[in-house]
């Protein structure tokens, strides 16, 4: 920290001037834009190895691979219709779809793309984008504030923060290891061994048609509705932050256990066991009707495992009518389901503990990164500068 403080005192003795992202673009230090439509038909017609990034919450936002590319330089990208989280794209050649925004540094003598990545990620962590407030370039150019600090300071901050980022890679590796164990346990071969017989697989839609479960969607709940009916019952929506929680409400839709997922987003499953809650119209839900045949917690683990191999985006949305065909359900005994749940819940607890302090040194490093990121990026403002 001493070196940063010394550099700021030396190079910015009167404080630091801040400008909006839009002002920085207008001054031609950087450029904001959006990707273009790339359909699955386009991909099939032009196969190749260049990555395509979209709004998916899985696989680092990667939608697929293509035979052409849009960019061969470093850019930041984010989901316009999703949570607006920033990604640092330094693949040699790649494309982004029209549901993504991009930022390119035009004047690299004034701004480091990596510095802007850390800076915007820090500010993003205090914001909330959802299906109402979308992260369009025209919106974020007025929201984000950029400190006009010399490149020497930017590079030193990047050096420190990238050190913390590299250390957290171990956390990701451990999570992937647990996900591998989960997927192996839920494979047809393992479930047959646990159940002691051959296992029949049925589509999720067939299981619904047989009356074992019910699929549905939430309802429209506007910010006006929430303001007019305040309360403490949670509302879950498509946001990728805060466990999908949009806010709180004075009424509720459900008082039972269900699975929910974002229809227009990545389709990730959530296990909802709050006593009373609601879900908006951009969410799907699944309810077990016959708990003598299916364990809701088992379906949560099973569908989460299969979801990790899928890619939902603006072209393939996770509507109930779509996922009922995609997901495959093993028809195993309730006892075997419970055995799997007991094991998987222990795995889940271990995975969760990785971000709750075990191993403590990894969590400490994550907290240190966030602390130093926010501390390093908080510069003294120049006297008289607008807030």
Q: What is the pLDDT of residues 165-222, one digit of tens each?
A: 777 777 677 777 888 888 999 999 999 999 999 999 999 999 999 999 999 999 999 8
> Helix, strand, or coil here: 97?
strand
What's the CATH fold of domain 18-147?
Answer: Adenine-n6-DNA-methyltransferase TaqI; Chain A, domain 2 (3.90.220)
Partners of 271 in the β-ladder = 259
Distance CA 8, CA 26 (A): 26
Grade residue 94 by pLDDT with cuts at 50, 70 and 90. Answer: very high
DSSP summary character for residue 379:
P
User: How does pLDDT run across 119-142, given as a tens digit for each residue?
Assistant: 999 999 888 887 677 889 999 999
Taking the C-alpha atoms of residue 284 and residue 259, their distance in angstroms, rounded to an integer, is 8
Determine the 3-state secondary structure of 65 from DSSP. strand
Mapping DSSP to helix (H, G, I), strand (E, B) and coil, where does residue 148 land? coil
Break the chain into its structural domains and give their ranges: 18-147, 200-331
Gap between the Cα atoms of 257 and 272, Å rounded: 6
Identify the CA nearest to 343 among candidates 178, 175, 172, 170.
178
For residue 233 the two structure tokens come to: 């019952």
**Confidence class for position 107, pLDDT limits 50, 70, 90:** very high
DSSP annotation of 71 reads: B
Mean pLDDT over the full length of the chain: 88
Integer Cα distance of 263 and 270 in angstroms? 12
Q: Give the pTM.
A: 0.58
Distances (CA, A) of 98 to 70, 80, 193: 12, 9, 46
CATH of segment(s) 200-331: 3.90.220.20
Residue 351 CB neighbour total at 10 angstroms? 18
Residues 35-57: b if buried by 16+ CB within 10 A, e if exposed: beebeeebbeeeeeebbbbbbbb
CB atoms within 10 A of CB 242: 13
- Domains 18-147 and 200-331 agree in fold: yes
pLDDT score recorded for residue 358: 45
């Amino acid at each position: 920290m001493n070196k940063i403080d010394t550099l700021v005192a030396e190079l910015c003795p009167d404080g630091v001037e801040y400008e909006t992202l839009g002002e920085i673009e207008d001054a031609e230090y950087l450029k904001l834009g959006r990707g273009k439509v790339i359909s699955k038909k386009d991909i099939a017609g032009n196969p190749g190895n260049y990555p395509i990034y979209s709004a998916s919450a899985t696989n680092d936002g990667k939608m697929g691979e293509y035979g052409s590319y849009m960019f061969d330089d470093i850019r930041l990208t984010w989901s316009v219709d999703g949570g607006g989280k920033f990604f640092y794209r330094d693949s040699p050649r790649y494309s982004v779809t029209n549901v993504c925004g991009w930022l390119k540094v035009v004047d690299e003598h004034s701004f480091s793309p990596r510095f802007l990545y850390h800076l915007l990620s820090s500010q993003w962590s205090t914001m909330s984008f959802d299906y109402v407030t979308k992260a369009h370039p025209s919106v974020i150019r007025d929201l984000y504030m950029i400190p006009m600090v010399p490149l020497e300071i930017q590079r030193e901050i990047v050096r420190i923060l990238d050190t913390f980022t590299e250390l957290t890679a171990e956390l990701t590796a451990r999570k992937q290891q647990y996900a591998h164990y989960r997927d192996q346990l839920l494979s047809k071969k393992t479930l047959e061994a646990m159940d002691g017989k051959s296992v029949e697989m049925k589509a999720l839609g067939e299981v619904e048609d047989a009356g074992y479960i019910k699929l549905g969607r939430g309802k429209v709940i506007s910010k006006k509705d929430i303001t007019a009916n305040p309360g403490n019952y949670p509302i879950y929506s498509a946001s990728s932050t805060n466990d999908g929680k949009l806010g709180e409400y004075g009424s509720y839709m459900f008082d039972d256990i269900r699975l929910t997922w974002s229809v227009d987003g990545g389709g990730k499953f959530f296990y909802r066991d709050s006593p009373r809650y609601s879900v908006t119209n951009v969410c799907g839900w699944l309810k077990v009707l016959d708990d003598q045949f299916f364990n809701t917690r088992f379906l949560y683990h099973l569908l989460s495992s299969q979801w990790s191999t899928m890619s939902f985006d603006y072209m393939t949305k996770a509507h109930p009518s779509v996922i009922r065909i995609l997901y495959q359900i093993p028809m195993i005994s309730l006892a075997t389901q419970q055995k799997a749940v007991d094991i998987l819940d222990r795995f889940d607890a271990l995975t969760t503990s990785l971000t709750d302090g075990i191993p403590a040194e990894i969590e400490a490093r994550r907290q240190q990164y966030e602390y130093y990121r926010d501390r390093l990026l908080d510069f003294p403002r120049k006297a008289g500068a607008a807030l």
